[in-house]
Amino acid sequence: MSDIQQELSNHGMETFILEQGASIVGVADTAYIKNYTSEYNDIISIYPRALSIGVRLSDQIMDKVINGPIKEYEVHYTEVNKQLDNISEKVATFLTSHGYKALRIPASFIEDYHSLQGRFPHKAIAVLSGLGWIGRSDLLITKDFGPRIRFATVFTNAPIEAGQPTRTSECGECQVCVKACPANAIKGTKWSLGIKRKELYDAKACYKHLLHYKKQLGDLICGICVGVCPYGSVKIIRMIE
């Protein structure tokens, strides 16, 4: 294998991305996206692969969000998004410098509050990469960090081997986020691949509650469902044992 092939092998790419500060990396076959939406067909036709890049949130901060949002979380969330944007920029540059196409999608934030949709479903790419599943909370849950992680995506035509999509939930009988949500927005349904978001969670009820927090903190943040999930939280596991 040449040096360039070695660098672009899955192991080479993963090592490079982790060295830039990522906590987790996966690769999705973009052909799977067609099964769920036609919205990204133009991207899929050019880019057969999508790199899912995650950076974990600080446990020290997330453990404080269990009882309600704090300003520190909002600041940290923005910082982690910036870190992801820097990493994904380096990854895109790395790929293009090797002669491949790359399209970088920055870490998501809700831009369209009318439809209450994020700009790009990074968590769908993470699921299709096999990095985790969608929890009852509609958050992407990874085994190592639970929902305490943020994602960015880099589409590419580099010949990288893709992972297998996650198809079922590993929430088990857990209902911790359902009980903790102050807006009763989490319906308690267990996710499986293809299920619609509205079956899991009431985005409008959540948003209404975020407006309530905005009056207190000046920002649309909550994070309780991120903080309380036993996956990724040693503190919560201790509390429910």
Residue selected from 17, 158, 181, 200 as contacting ligand SF4 according to rule CB under 6 A:
181
- Determine, following the binding rule CB under 6 A, whether residue 80 of this chain makes contact with ligand SF4: no
As a whole number of angstroms, the distance between CA 169 and CA 151 comes to 19
Q: Which residues contact 30 (CB under 8 A, 6 or more apart)?
A: 40, 43, 44, 47, 48, 49, 50, 155
Task: State yes or no: residue 140 binds ligand SF4 (CB under 6 A).
Answer: no
- Distance of closest approach, residue 122 Cβ to ligand SF4, in angstroms: 17
* Binding residue for ligand SF4, selected from 17, 27, 33, 225, defined by CB under 6 A: 225
Question: Secondary structure of 30-88 in the HEC alphabet?
Answer: HHHHHHCCCCCHHHHHHCCEEEEEEEECCHHHHCCCCCCCCHHHHHHHHHHHHHHHHHH
Work out whether 200 is an interface residue with ligand SF4 (CB under 6 A). no
Among 30, 81, 137, 156, binds ligand SF4 (CB under 6 A): 137
Asked if 195 interacts with ligand SF4 (CB under 6 A), we say no
224 makes contact with ligand SF4 (CB under 6 A)? yes
In the structure encoding, which two tokens stand for residue 125, read together?
Answer: 């790419």
Residues in the interface with ligand SF4 (CB under 6 A) total 23
Counting contacts by CB under 6 A, is residue 149 touching ligand SF4? no
C-alpha span between 218 and 37 (Å, rounded):
35
44 binds ligand SF4 (CB under 6 A): no
- The residues of the shown chain that bind ligand SF4, judged by CB under 6 A, are 135-137, 141, 171, 174-177, 181-183, 185-186, 206, 209, 222, 224-225, 228-231
